[in-house]
Amino acid sequence: MNLKQALEERRAFKHFDKEHSLAEEEIQELFSAVQLAPTAFNIQHCRFVLVTDPELRQKLRAVAWNQAQVTDSSLLVILCGDIKAWEKDPIRYWRNSSPEYQEIVLPSIDAYYRGRDQVQRDEVMRSCGMAAQTLMLTAKSMDLGSCPMVGFDFDAVGKLINLPDDHVVAMMVAVGKTTAPANPRGGFLPLDEVLIRNHF
């Protein structure tokens, strides 16, 4: 499947085969691709919580407007981000680069994030968004459906997964074998309304 086809066929599916499961090799394939998603300064803020416990899935469904994909999908992925990843031994993000480059990039990371709480949080959300799109497109290339989700109580989800204080929940993505087509597309705004050239 080429990228254009994956983009066109990627939809927010709501109905999944409850009996379908992914082999560990498939999960590894999926997340090896997700790790290729870009992050600023290669910080890799994203943390992916794979929820496999049926009881926990039921509790999550209860705080997610009772949406069936929370319990019925093969994988439920809670995309979280480590807001303080930038200061946690950042040399590990550049361990394969030259010492000369490390001397440039490491101080740059510190200068960009230190004391800028909103920037730190925004960066995590950008990274998680790019990871989520990579996850969904990779799932599509593996003949799986997906559903991005923000319709849930973020604080309740954080408590249920014991979210660390310096992390945030960005969104959830359900992945699995679909049993019904997605709803028809709602329609797109005209390109000339959303494509701005140079300035507003």
In this prediction, residue 161 carries a pLDDT of 98
pLDDT band at 105 (very low <50, low <70, confident <90, very high): very high
In this prediction, residue 98 carries a pLDDT of 97
For the chain, where are the E strands, in sequence order? 46-50, 75-82, 145-149, 167-176
Q: Is the pLDDT of residue 84 over 90?
A: yes
Report helix angle 117-141 to 24-34, nearest 10. 130
Q: C-alpha distances in angstroms, 43 versus 39, 80, 82, 129, 146?
A: 6, 14, 10, 15, 26
Classify each residue of 107-121 as buried b or exposed e, where b means 16 or more C-beta atoms within 10 Å of its C-beta. Answer: eebeeebeeeeeebe
CA nearest to 138, candidates 24, 21, 25, 34: 34
Residue 180 maps to a domain: no
Which residue range is the domain that position 58 belongs to? 3-170
Q: Over the stretch 12-38, which tens digit does the pLDDT of each residue have?
A: 999 999 999 999 999 999 999 999 999
The answer to whether residues 146 and 13 touch, using CB atoms and an 8 Å cutoff, is yes
Q: Over the stretch 33-83, which tens digit does the pLDDT of each residue have?
A: 999 999 999 999 999 999 999 999 999 999 999 999 999 999 999 999 999
Q: Over the stretch 140-168, which tens digit does the pLDDT of each residue have?
A: 999 999 999 999 999 999 999 999 999 99
In this prediction, residue 17 carries a pLDDT of 98
Return d(Cα 133, Cα 160) in angstroms, integer: 25
Residue 87 maps to a domain: yes
Residue 200 maps to a domain: no
In this prediction, residue 24 carries a pLDDT of 97
Residue 188 maps to a domain: no
Residue 145 maps to a domain: yes
Return d(Cα 106, Cα 89) in angstroms, integer: 10
In this prediction, residue 1 carries a pLDDT of 84
Count of CB atoms situated within 10 Å of the CB of 148: 18
In this prediction, residue 18 carries a pLDDT of 97
Residue 159 maps to a domain: yes
CATH number (domain holding residue 115): 3.40.109.10
Is the pTM above the cut of 0.85?
yes
Residue 199 maps to a domain: no
In this prediction, residue 113 carries a pLDDT of 98
Total domain count, the chain: 1
Residue 153 maps to a domain: yes
In this prediction, residue 138 carries a pLDDT of 97
